[in-house]
Amino acid sequence: MGKAVVLRVNGEEYELEVKPQETLLDVIRERLSLTGTKRGCETGDCGACTVIMNHKAVSSCLVLAVEADGAEIVTIEGLAKEGKLHPLQEAFVRHGAVQCGFCTPGMILSAKALLDENKNPTEEEIRRAISGNLCRCTGYTKIVEAIKACSGTL
Amino acid sequence: MLRSMQPFNYLRPSTLSEALKLLGDHGREAKVLAGGTDLIVGMKEKGLSPRYVIDIKGIEGLDGIGYDPNEGLRIGTLATMSEVSASSCVREHYLFLAHAAGEVGSVQVRNRATIGGNLCNAAPSAETAPALLCLDAVLTVAGPKGERAVAIEEFFRGPGMTVLDGEILTGMLIPPVERKGIYIKHSPRNAMDIAVIGAAAAVTPKEGGWENVRIALGAVAPTPVRVHEAEELIRKKGQTKEAIEEAGRMAGETASPIFDVRASAEYRSEMVENLVIRALSELCDS
């Protein structure tokens, strides 16, 4: 039995019929083909599926698509504007904060949710904000540096 | 899909009475959904497959946090861990409860997980339970026959089990008693980890000593527990170094921890003793 929902993703409105057992992650990837949002552990442990929902970072694998009805959602595809990368994306490239890239979309969205709320976070606040995003390549230092470089500039 | 859920019916009542009716109609085939950070994980990897999922987030009046000097601190069941940990009322009156809520999972989890869900999931390690036990929280429970108040100490029945019987936890009230407290979470990782042990202590500082001594533990028994003998000892003997050490020993003996992948039972018992001593000593110094 499908349920009609309206999702606002990256400023665009999508009217969809979803099954109750479909997660927001399923819908974003399989139905909207926005595959920048990664499917990792599926149990809220790794942060790869992080999106911003109503201004808060959430694990989209732990949100039912029906629960997101009417919500405002930002995925990694919503950050670049007119072919120009978002300053956080620029900083990640510049600081070498991307290696395999699998954690990057979630990492950047966690960082964005932090900076939207707190323009000048301390290093501890940055580390705490991304503590739910696992990266197995970088050792986090360059990621923290990239986020720090954007403090106070967004 | 690596971990998909079995199909279910999603119900989103807009009033409490409608929700209770649905819960009554579907009984054991239904699960109440709040933040979903435990329920959805359970449905994906622990074989939980309810036929009906009743989402209570469409019901008004179950969220919010407020303090009234006569009534106390009221926390709605749907208040998220992020809201509890950032709430100025919580931070002003019971900072250690804000700290405990801030220890849950990650930012992403705290933005969804609710305080009511944390209690109803009834994990022995429930992060907010030891602090709420120390604060004598009174839970408000709504059922088909009306509302009742349940002392938090009576709420847990075993791992994953509570006294709720066709009922919904709607919120909690913490009596307006001045207290200072501390919550210490012991786990290998700072983030995204389940407590190997959680220890909380709270007291009301009075001239010449402490009143309302409370010591509570998580993850060392089938439910979160208070350690009454150790509380009684501190009440009788005062906050001396000897009494605190003896209270720690008592707590270590009272605990009936499990041996699991996170730690051995022996390790947990010994750490309980140390954490209780540390908690009480820090309350002496603060």
CB contact under 8 A, B8 and A1: no
A94 plus A66 within the same structural domain:
no
pLDDT per residue over B227-260, tens digit each?
A: 999 999 999 999 999 999 999 999 998 877 666 6
| Alpha-carbon gap, residue A51 to B208, rounded angstroms | 53
Q: For residue B236, is it within any domain?
A: yes
Residue B191 has pLDDT above 70, yes or no: no
In the block, which residue shows the tokens 């601190």?
B73
For chain B, say whether A97 makes contact (Cβ under 8 Å). Answer: no
CA atoms within 13 A on the CB side of A5: 25
Number of compact structural domains in chain B = 3
On whether both B169 and B191 belong to a single domain, the answer is no
Last residue of a domain, one of A78, A107, A141: A78
Domain match, A91 and A110 both: yes
Contact B8 A21 (CB under 8 A): yes
B168 and B184 in a common domain: no
Q: Do A73 and A101 reside in the same domain of the chain?
A: no
Main-chain dihedrals φ then ψ at residue B73, nearest 5 degrees: -95, 120
A94 and A60 inside one domain: no
What per-residue confidence (pLDDT) applies to A6? 98
Domain limits at B48?
A: 9-58
Residues 40-79 of A with CB under 8 A from B: 42-45, 47, 50, 56-59, 61-64, 66-67
**Is 0.90 exceeded by the ipTM?**
yes
Considering B58, B73, B95, which residue would you say is the last residue of a domain? B58
B273 has a pLDDT exceeding 70:
yes
Distance from CA of B192 to the nearest CA of A (A): 6
Distances (CA, A) of B169 to A67, B59, B161: 20, 13, 13
Contacts with B109 from chain A: Cβ below 8 Å:
44, 59, 62, 132
Say whether residue B13 is in contact with chain A using an 8 A CB cutoff. Answer: no
Whole-Å CA distances, A62 to A67, B230, B279: 10, 40, 34
pLDDT attached to residue A1: 62
- pLDDT over 70 (residue A20): yes
Q: What is the mean pLDDT of residues A60-84?
A: 97
Neighboring chain A residues of B107 at a CB cutoff of 8 Å: 57, 110, 113-114, 128-129, 131-132
Band (pLDDT 50/70/90 cuts) for residue B43 is very high
CA distance B40 to chain A (A): 6
- End-to-end Cα spacing for chain A: 44
For residue B212, is it within any domain?
yes
Specify the pairing of strand A50-53 against strand A72-74: antiparallel
> What single-letter amino acid sits at B238?
G
User: Which helix (H) or strand (E) element contains residue A12?
Assistant: strand A12-18
Q: How many domains does chain A have?
A: 2
**B199 and B241 in one domain?**
yes
Do B136 and B80 belong together in one domain?
A: yes
Region B35-40: mean pLDDT is 97
**Exposure string for B225-257, b = 16+ CB within 10 A, e = fewer:** bbbeebbebbbeeebeeebbebbbbbbbebbeb
Contact status of A115 with chain B (Cβ, < 8 Å): no
Confidence tier at B187 by pLDDT (50, 70, 90)? confident
- Note the pLDDT of residue B258: 67
Geometric angle at alpha carbon A21, from A18 and A26, rounded to 5°: 65
B217 to chain A, any CB pair closer than 8 A? The answer is no
- State the CATH number of the domain containing residue A26: 3.10.20.30
- Per-residue pLDDT, averaged over B125-149, amounts to 97
In a domain, B1, yes or no: no
Q: Evaluate if residue B262 carries a pLDDT over 90.
A: no
User: Which among B3, B5, B106 has CB closest to A131?
Assistant: B106
Q: What CATH number has the domain bearing residue B186? A: 3.30.390.50
**Which of B:91-150 have CB within 8 Å of A?**
105-109, 111-112
Supply the CATH number for residue B154's domain: 3.30.465.10
The mean per-residue pLDDT over the stretch B128-132 comes to 98
Nearest to B9 among A20, A63, A114 (CB): A20
Interface check B205 vs A, CB under 8 A? no
Looking at the fold, whether B192 and B124 belong to one and the same domain comes out as no
The structure's pTM equals: 0.95
Nearest CB partner across the interface for B109, out of A3, A59, A114: A59
Q: Which residues of A81-99 are buried (b: 16+ CB within 10 A; e: fewer)?
A: eeeeebbbbebbeebebbe
Q: Is B49 on the interface with A (CB under 8 A)?
A: no
Question: Same domain for B25 and B99?
Answer: no
Q: Are B100 and B128 in contact (CB under 8 A)?
A: yes
Asked whether the beta carbons of residue A63 and residue B109 sit closer than 8 angstroms, the reply is no
Domain span at residue A136? 87-150
Are B87 and B163 members of one domain? Answer: yes
Q: Is residue B42 part of a domain?
A: yes
